[in-house]
Structure 1
Amino acid sequence: MQQEEQIIRTEYSELMQKSYIDYAMSVIIARALPDVRDGLKPVQRRTLYDMYELGIRYDKPYRKCARIVGDTMGKYHPHGDSSIYDALVVMAQEFKKGLPLVDGHGNFGSIEGDGAAAMRYTEARLQKITQEAFLSDLDKDVVDFVPNFDETEKEPEVLPVKIPNLLVNGSDGIAVGMVTSTPPHNLGEVIDGVIAYIKNPDINTEQMMEYIPGPDFPTGGIIANKDDLIQIYSTGMGKIKIRGKVEVEQVKGGKERIVITEIPYTMIGANIGKFLNDVYSLVETKKTNDIVDITNQSSKEGIRIVLELRKGADTQNLINLLYKKTKLEDTFGVNMLAVAEGRPETLGLVPIIRHHVKFQYELATRKYQTLLKKELDKKEIQEGLIKACDVIDLIIEILRGSKNVKDARACLTDGVTDNITFKSAQSEKMASELRFTERQTTAILEMRLQKLIGLEIEALMKDHEDTLKHIAEYEDILENRATMAKVLIKELQSYKKQYAVPRKTLIDNLEEAVVEEKKIEEMDVVFLMDRFGYAKTVDVSVYERNKEAADTENRYILTCKNTDKICIFTNKGQMHLLKVLDLPYGKFRDKGIPIDNLSNYDSSEENFIYIINLGAIIHSRLLFGTKTAMLKMVDGSEFDVAKRTTASTKLNEDDELLIVHAMTGEETVVMQSEKEMFLRIEASTIPEKKKGAVGVRGMKLNAGDALSNIYVLDGENEQTVEVKGKEVVLNRLRVGNRDTKGTKR
């Protein structure tokens, strides 16, 4: 019988909302955010556990990363090999992690953004501290194990990490609707802070910062806003200003060089290349003339970026310019978000340590409960063996008189003497009084005769004494919190002694970098642009001396101020702004620089219509005319904008701009169509519109016709055009009305 189809009716919006929330929480908890207890994301935790399971210890040979990644993906993390390998690589990069957890062998990338080699080429193993402080107690039932994705394996819910890894290594990740960004800290300082909290759980943020003054980035650098740190550590959110470390070196000839020896943590990777490009831009845009060369001499020994300066350069002002205009000073956004007690929470410095210490007490309790149980089991067996040694003759008699192990076991545990042959009634009476436990009986039955040697019995007695000491020690730790605290502190101090390193990042309150802009002396220059689009500026006197050659060789010649802007109008209706200061200024025979390189103008898409300096049009009106005879006047002040490119007019589909011209108000305008129709009108009849308007119709065009040219006549100079071999004097055309057909020529 066919089963009936089950249709569940539900509100679509509710289903989508529930599904999205489920997805978001899965990303937040199971992928993107670290757990506050071990400071690890699931992919990191699973990778380290898999390496532990594979036996890739710090004192064992390296193993191929491909093996580690494949095993992790197959057993614990079914999210693709790249995410696992990326996590493995980052845990091995000492320039990203304050405390690398993986010992990488091979090319694991560089601080300048070079990627790691493929996982088939690289090898890895656990670092010693990872093995000792992250994984060592997994065999002592200190954490819960949960089923993996297909329930064929078990994996730890959290690793028994004994140092506050969330603070030491930091964390960054993007979840759904939230982001985590925790800076790395110094291991020794963080351990001091944890010990201080254990001794005084009521410690506040300010007191804690006596031990943990601020982040300690692997790349060093300087934290410039020390006073903001207390607010950041109280709330778990804020912005840290980081600067690179700069040194000034003296060079022969009285010159100096700026050497960058440490970079902001945010600059690692591709941002080093961006910094170099930004410095090049400062030189190209003439923001500074003090830099003559820049080289990146960084190596495995460390960062070294050298800026060679010209003699007499203002070094301090240049350093401030680098802080202001490049990534040499950057902001690290802090958002100490982590999964705490199963839900995402933004935590301050003290709450993170509080969660960590609480976790340490839980780990210690479970660890010493496991150890105590083992010692109690051992004590039980040892007591049984000691007691057995005292009545060994009787036990041998029981064993020799038993027909099978079952009878012997029953006699030793419950004193059952049936089915056992004794040499005497006294022996049988003594045997009936025996009451060994099950474990003791098993140990007696498995005991070798060599244990009856005097020295062996002495060793047994000594082991029993050690066991009793351990039991007393573990019971004291479990019953007295103060004793457990001492154990935790002692362990933390041993990690600090072995693995702590000096702080790399300086913390200070530094003043805002102030750049003294050198005032540019305003002067008249001549803008020259040839027919290939190469532009430059020269002194007015240079132009006057070479006027004939300049007028012949150049398409556009403008006299303007060096502080002015050049407006480039194109047939596509765009206006591109170009700063005169960005153009090369110098000799008449210098080639110049392509306009495309200094503006958004694209010579492959647009054609020049009109080029003029902004100062010349700002107090006048501009005439705009298009191929479909749309005309308008626009106030020049509308083009005084900050954007490098702006729409100078609105064009209808398939229309293009034919003319842009600065007007005085007394001119006439002549329109010439492709079919030799001419119309001359007064410029005063063209209305003023905004630059975003299309305009009004200047001439009625026949079907299939379009304007080929628009001329502006000033009334003084005669202007002629040739039509079919005949000259047409435009000034002699009759002035007609706008929006008429005109006359045929």
Structure 2
Amino acid sequence: MQKEGERLIPINIVDEMKSSYIDYSMSVIVSRALPDVRDGLKPVHRRVLYGMYGLGVFSNRKYLKSARIVGDVLGKYHPHGDSSVYDAMVRMAQPWSLRYPQVDGQGNFGSMDGDPPAAMRYTEARLKKISDEVLADLDKETVDFQNNFDDSLTEPSVMPTKIPNLLVNGASGIAVGMATNMAPHNLSESVDAIVAYIDNKEITIDELMKHIIAPDFPTGGIIYGYDGVRDAFHTGRGRIMLRAKINFEEVGNRNAIIVTEVPYQVNKAEMIARTAELVKEDKIPGIYEIRDESDRQGLRIVYELKNDAIPNVVLNMLYKYTALQTSFSVNNIALVKGRPEQLNLKDIIYHFVEHRHEVVIRRTEYELKKARERAHILEGFMKVIGTQDDLDKAISIIRHSANPAEAKQGLIDEFDLSEIQAQAILDLRLARLTGMELDKIRAEYEEIMNMIRDFEDILSNEPRRYEIIKNELLEIKEKYGDERRSEIDYSGGEMSIEDLIPDEKVVLTISHAGYIKRTSLSEYKIQSRGGVGNRAATTRDEDFLEYIVAATNHQYMLFFTEKGKCFWLRVFEIPEGSKTAKGRAVQNLINIEPDDKIKAYIRTNDLKDAEYVNQMSVVMVTKNGTIKKTSLEAYSRPRTNGVNAIEIRDNDQLLSAYLTNGNSHIMIATKFGKCIRFPEEKVREVGRTSIGVRGITLEENDEVIGMIVANDLESETVLVVSEKGYGKRTAVLDYRETNRGGKGVITLNITEKTGNLIAIQNVTDEDGLMIINKSGVAIRMAMDEMRVMGRNTQGVRMINLKNNDSIAAIAKVEMDKDVEEETAETEALPASVNSDLVEFSEVPQTGNNAVSNMGDEKTLRKIEEEEERQNRNPQQDSPDQNTDEPQ
């Protein structure tokens, strides 16, 4: 209710909120979060130093309780919480936080492990010697003072620092709508750069960078690459990559990675704990044990390696996944005349030099004023006590005066003195009236007059003022300069983990249950067609190998699931396992849904190559005969949860995926032995989430089993394989070209003996073939051993199958011409990749378990003996297995 005499003023809430928010944001920017470009200090740090200056806790005095210092700063200058002042003071005392600490702390002031400092009542502090240079000449009217929060005291608005503090210690802070993150630098280098600027005001930033090479962090480490440094110096913004400093040692009988310096602002304990988690999750294999052996002598973290680990590879994994490599994002924003500005290296030096120039002028003016005041008094002394008669006369005036005022006036009238001079004479001790003291007064007066002339020369001579600034800076360098701590690796850049991973040929295997691994090609050998082969992988019960992929470590793998989603992995990110290892579940590597399953993949080169991804297309086919073509560019931005590759309708699933270049021919095969061929251009390119178009028309109960992409129609042949081990090679041109969406032509004479078609692949005589059956047996054969046959023939037996076993998957591989066929004791295995695209189709699972999972050792020995016998005497093709008769 409005009281009498009161008046209500309506205010627009939008305007009021805008005004209040601007006031708040400016307060945060100017009075809290951003440093001043001149002294490099935020208000809280400036107040801590001034509070300690007022308490007299200099570097040559005894320590004072931190609580006393904090209380003094709070009560006089900083009206905020005590933790804000204490936390700021603690950071100013931590040698791992500031390149040149400004507070000398005694007690527990925290650690690099993130341990908090002891309470302020337990710790003590005093100023560091270098802080004396920050506060030097503060009492000589060198800077402006402003009222404190309650106008009861004054405080400096800036410090008259001789130290280029913003450069050497940097700063960080978050304001409203802006933030600053300035890197620390070496004091000696900074002084050299400033001196070079004073000598030549037109100096370029590149020339300054010959003196101040790069940031110099308190914790040392290695600056990896120079582009970020160059950007930061030139523009005030840049991303600097930091790496820990490491060396390799032998600890006991193991290799070990020893870390002696960590990147700036890294919490050592958190880094070690996170690394241990990654080792436990198998994201960083090869580490046996991690120990923190840091002590008073310095930092030492030991990563003890397993016997089979390659130190450089493990180190690179540590760089990739842990804080042993971090980035420091430089954002040089500071207050210039009360306004935030982004500054490059030369800007920072310019503003510091201008500040020092002003300090020198104001200091000289103050000293000149004091010298003139002293000279004035000395002139009065010489007038009164210059001769014995004058002295006697002055003494007589004082003795016969009734009071000091009368005496002062008498001296003024008699000797033509000023009041100041007369008062100084009255204040003289009798001892100063001797003849010896008169000589001292005259000598002092002469010295003062010389000083006055010198001060006047300084004020009238700008080059001399800059020379003074230079000399003072060189003195600072002599006193406090030290060696650079952070090394620079000029050859470094954005870390690429493949730099230390050999780009060797590998074989990827994926089981029906979704277990994946990569195995070096060297674990496999070669056999002739018709051999039985040996165990290729250990699988779980009721599981079998469904896909086999030939690749190299540095390539990309795009996984496509039956629900139409696409996921990414680099080949080297797939866990390595021996030939008989079962591998890791795919769900542990990519975020695939529990009820989804990988159906196809594409192996590609660099997805960051814009020209490559725009030239290539992804062609997919579903079980119901739908085909879709999309630019590879749509799949070039990996996401953790994958992306939608194709819209899948009910009772359908994605089956195959290939890369094409726009000039290919597409062939789609069905389980009933039909195949269709049409040009890729018949399929128009659509968006990533579209459903696609009809690729082949299916008969009742028929379904697509695979697709190939043919590029060389003259020389390529088509290989089709049935589930009971029959296969056939036919020239691509034997399949007449039709329109998309037709029923296709017969590709294999399907009978009960052959079983349904399970795979289609394009091959040449130079290719090899890797065959894996459901029991885990693998065999490799050369394609030049299979002659090209007619399109509708039954084909030949490609592999001898035991009992009710059947083929699970095939893959095209490259034959090593230097390797001779092995005897029965050698193991069957694929070679390296021949083309960019290999695709596998799903085969219905039978009740047969893998050979490696069968029973006890006695049973296993019998099976191996039978395999050995059949390898020595491979079964020849019977007439009905190699017929070329038409259907």
Question: Do the aligned partners of 2:112 and 2:268 also contact (CA within 8 Å) in 1?
Answer: yes
SS at match of 2:330: strand
Distance in 2, Cα, partners of 1:647 & 1:209: 46
Say which of 437, 460, 463 aligns to 1:479: 460
Q: Within 5 Å, which residues of 2 pair with 1:614-633?
A: 614=599
2:408 aligns with: 409
**Partner deviation per Cα, 1:271-309 (whole Å, 9 max, x = no partner):** 63366247626x7136x44x3333332333333222333
The letter for the 2-side match of 1:298 is S
Distance in 1, Cα, partners of 2:638 & 2:215: 40
| Structure 1 residue 643: Cα displacement | 6.0
1:425 aligns with: none
The letter for the 2-side match of 1:212 is I
Say which of 491, 503, 518 aligns to 1:510: 491
Distance 1:392 1:519, change over 3 A: same
Question: Do the aligned partners of 2:250 and 2:256 also contact (CA within 8 Å) in 1?
Answer: yes
Question: Do the aligned partners of 1:239 and 1:332 also contact (CA within 8 Å) in 2?
Answer: yes
2:383 aligns with: 387
Distance in 1, Cα, partners of 2:178 & 2:383: 65
Verify: 1:451 aligned to 2:432, yes or no: yes
| Structure 1 residue 363: Cα displacement | 0.8
1:218 aligns with: 218
1:74 aligns with: 75
Distance 1:206 1:275, change over 3 A: farther
SS at match of 2:135: coil
Question: Do the aligned partners of 1:525 and 1:537 also contact (CA within 8 Å) in 2?
Answer: yes
| Structure 1 residue 97: Cα displacement | 1.0
Distance in 2, Cα, partners of 1:115 & 1:634: 63
Distance in 2, Cα, partners of 1:511 & 1:34: 32
1:44 aligns with: 45
2:374 aligns with: 378
| Structure 1 residue 127: Cα displacement | 0.4
When normalised by structure 2's length, the TM-score is 0.60
Distance in 1, Cα, partners of 2:295 & 2:31: 38
| Structure 1 residue 130: Cα displacement | 0.2
1:246 aligns with: 246
Question: Do the aligned partners of 2:276 and 2:290 also contact (CA within 8 Å) in 1?
Answer: no
2:827 aligns with: none
Q: Which has the higher helix share?
A: 1
**Partner deviation per Cα, 1:708-728 (whole Å, 9 max, x = no partner):** xxxxxxxxx9xxxxxxxxxxx
Distance in 1, Cα, partners of 2:534 & 2:119: 63
1:64 aligns with: 65
Verify: 1:114 aligned to 2:115, yes or no: yes
| Structure 1 residue 635: Cα displacement | 11
**Partner deviation per Cα, 1:160-205 (whole Å, 9 max, x = no partner):** 1112100000111111111111110001111112222222222221
| Structure 1 residue 76: Cα displacement | 1.4
| Structure 1 residue 249: Cα displacement | 2.8
The letter for the 2-side match of 1:302 is G
SS at match of 1:241: strand
2:330 aligns with: 334
Distance 1:13 1:224, change over 3 A: same
Question: Do the aligned partners of 2:236 and 2:344 also contact (CA within 8 Å) in 1?
Answer: yes
SS at match of 1:6: coil
- Which sections of structure 2, spanning at least 5 residues, go unmatched? 520-532, 550-556, 602-619, 645-650, 656-669, 673-699, 702-845, 847-887
The letter for the 2-side match of 1:462 is A
Verify: 1:208 aligned to 2:208, yes or no: yes
2:302 aligns with: 306
2:883 aligns with: none
1:712 aligns with: none
Distance in 2, Cα, partners of 1:78 & 1:665: 82
Distance in 1, Cα, partners of 2:517 & 2:378: 100
2:234 aligns with: 234
RMSD, matched Cα: 4.6
1:359 aligns with: 355
2:692 aligns with: none
| Structure 1 residue 247: Cα displacement | 1.7
| Structure 1 residue 31: Cα displacement | 0.7
SS at match of 1:265: coil
SS at match of 1:267: coil
1:285 aligns with: 283
1:25 aligns with: 26
| Structure 1 residue 520: Cα displacement | 7.4
Distance in 2, Cα, partners of 1:224 & 1:163: 28
Question: Do the aligned partners of 1:567 and 1:611 also contact (CA within 8 Å) in 2?
Answer: no
Verify: 1:273 aligned to 2:272, yes or no: yes
**Partner deviation per Cα, 1:118-161 (whole Å, 9 max, x = no partner):** 22222211101102x11121211111111111212211111111
Distance 1:151 1:259, change over 3 A: same
Distance in 2, Cα, partners of 1:538 & 1:465: 91
Distance in 2, Cα, partners of 1:404 & 1:251: 91
Q: Within 5 Å, which residues of 2 pair with 1:482-501?
A: 482-501=463-482
Distance 1:405 1:72, change over 3 A: closer
| Structure 1 residue 4: Cα displacement | 3.0
Distance in 2, Cα, partners of 1:559 & 1:145: 80
1:154 aligns with: 154
Distance 1:269 1:5, change over 3 A: farther
Identity %: 38
2:9 aligns with: 7
Judge which range, 161-170 or 476-485, deviates more: 476-485
Question: Do the aligned partners of 1:621 and 1:662 also contact (CA within 8 Å) in 2?
Answer: yes
Question: Do the aligned partners of 1:522 and 1:561 also contact (CA within 8 Å) in 2?
Answer: no
2:97 aligns with: 96
Question: Do the aligned partners of 2:538 and 2:580 also contact (CA within 8 Å) in 1?
Answer: no
Distance in 2, Cα, partners of 1:362 & 1:476: 16
Distance in 1, Cα, partners of 2:298 & 2:121: 28
1:180 aligns with: 180
Question: Do the aligned partners of 1:567 and 1:577 also contact (CA within 8 Å) in 2?
Answer: no
The letter for the 1-side match of 2:366 is T
Q: Within 5 Å, which residues of 2 pair with 1:432-451?
A: 434-451=415-432
How many equivalent pairs are there?
613
Question: Do the aligned partners of 2:271 and 2:322 also contact (CA within 8 Å) in 1?
Answer: no
The letter for the 2-side match of 1:477 is I
- Which sections of structure 1, spanning at least 5 residues, go unmatched? 416-433, 530-534, 552-556, 623-632, 649-658, 667-682, 685-716, 718-745
Distance in 2, Cα, partners of 1:596 & 1:325: 20
Distance 1:248 1:467, change over 3 A: same
Q: Within 5 Å, which residues of 2 pair with 1:311-710?
A: 311=307, 313-389=309-385, 390=387, 391-415=390-414, 434-512=415-493, 513=496, 514-516=499-501, 521-522=506-507, 550=541, 557=543, 559-561=545-547, 610=595, 614=599
1:197 aligns with: 197
Question: Do the aligned partners of 1:323 and 1:329 also contact (CA within 8 Å) in 2?
Answer: yes
2:815 aligns with: none
The letter for the 2-side match of 1:144 is D
SS at match of 1:399: helix
Distance 1:275 1:305, change over 3 A: farther
Question: Do the aligned partners of 2:560 and 2:600 also contact (CA within 8 Å) in 1?
Answer: no
Judge which range, 405-414 or 495-504, deviates more: 405-414
SS at match of 2:56: coil
Distance 1:19 1:559, change over 3 A: same
1:704 aligns with: none
1:430 aligns with: none
SS at match of 1:284: coil
| Structure 1 residue 42: Cα displacement | 0.7
**Partner deviation per Cα, 1:221-264 (whole Å, 9 max, x = no partner):** 222333553442122112222222222235666x6432222222
Distance 1:228 1:410, change over 3 A: same
**Partner deviation per Cα, 1:70-101 (whole Å, 9 max, x = no partner):** 22222211221222222111111111211100
Distance 1:456 1:536, change over 3 A: same
The letter for the 2-side match of 1:18 is S
SS at match of 2:475: helix
